[in-house]
Amino acid sequence: MSNDVAPIAPHGGTLVNLQVAGSDADALADEAANIPRVTISERELSDLEMLATGALSPLTGFQTEDDYHARVPMQRLSRSFASRSGSNATSRRRPSPSTGRMTPSTPA
């Protein structure tokens, strides 16, 4: 087996790294000391760590309220990562009224 294997390209084409270091980290720590504290679960902490390290690339944060309202009825985000990676952004999928399974919809 060869060691000349290329790494797999990140989903969406960009590997996101939200970690900060040096004086930027110090400034954020000073700012954090002056804002209200929030208690989070281990799962939420894990989500934050995965966002920060790029494990959830190309995501850069949590869903916005607009994304939530687009996601519930349409089963998609209000902005499309797929359109940035070159796939056909006009091909949408939605639940079939009769079966509830995801089926391609026809562009209007």
pTM of the model: 0.52
In order of their start, the domains of the chain are 13-86 (3.10.400.10)
Cα–Cα distance for residue pair 31/100, rounded to 1 Å:
47
Alpha-carbon distance 105 to 2, whole Å?
Answer: 44
Question: Between these two residues, 58 and 82, which has the higher pLDDT value?
Answer: 58
CA distance 76 to 81: 10
Rounded distance between C-alpha atoms, residue 67 and residue 20, angstroms = 26
pLDDT per position as a tens digit, 63-80 = 888 888 877 877 666 665
pLDDT band at residue 44 under the 50/70/90 scheme: very high
Q: What is the DSSP letter of 49?
A: H
For 48-61, how does the pLDDT look when each residue is reduced to its tens digit (9 = 90+)?
999 998 888 888 88
